[in-house]
Every structure is written in C-alpha cells, then in structure tokens.
Structure 1
Amino acid sequence: ALGVTWVRDQEDTANTFIAAATTGLIYKSTSGLRSMGLGAATGLVLAGVYTLVTDNDNIWSKTR
C-alpha cells in the first residue's frame, strides 16, 4: 500500500483495498479477464477481512 499512499497522498483504509485489488489483477493478468476479476475480488475480500481484524476500532467509530 506504500505506492498507493504515495500516489493518492492520503493514509487511509482505501489504500489497502486498492492495493489488494491491483495485486489480484496483476497476479492473474496472464490468465484472462475472468481470472483477473476473480483475483481482484479475492484481494478485496482478503483486504476486507484484514481491515476488520486490524482496524476494528477505527471502522466502528466512523459508523456511529
């Protein structure tokens, strides 16, 4: 997420999601569009789980 932070010039949770989706896209880029989409979706799901586990207090404080 370091490169995403540098490009966006912001430090937030969206960087984790963008980095995860991009990683999934690049990792599966030689397998076709469907595989790229599945790779990106997998990255987003894993980033969501990671964010819920590691940044739980911050997420719930924003929804109240």
Structure 2
Amino acid sequence: MINPVKQGYLSSIAAVDTNKSDKKIKLDNTQKTENEKVAKIAEQIKNGEYKIDLKATASAIADSLI
C-alpha cells in the first residue's frame, strides 16, 4: 500500500516541475516577442522611418519626476 503522505509529496513535486515548465515557456515567448519588437524598431531606425513622439516622451519624463 502506498503511503498517502508520500503520494502527496510526489504529486506536489510534479506540480512544481510543471509550473517551472510553464514559466519557462512564458518567458521564452515573452523574450521572442520583445526581440521581434526590437528588431522592428531597429529596422525603422535604419530606414529613417522611426519617429519619436516628443510630447508623449516629455510627458512621461515629467510624470516620473513628480
């Protein structure tokens, strides 16, 4: 007969491993998305097409100082 305490312990270990895998997948997806955004902006800068919203930038800077 399997001891219920040990069975519960093993189940919790499996759940932790699954959570780590899920977090790793989410992290990989986030990094991929961020890398794609950076590549897109870099291409726009290279082509002279990237425009900075000075009003929004100034507003964000001012908000961070308050």
TM-score tier, shorter chain, comes to 0.3 to 0.5
Compare relative contact order (CA 8 Å, sep 6+) and give the higher one, 1 or 2: 1
Indicate the structure (1 or 2) with the bigger Cα radius of gyration: 2
Q: Normalised by the size of structure 2, how large is the TM-score?
A: 0.37
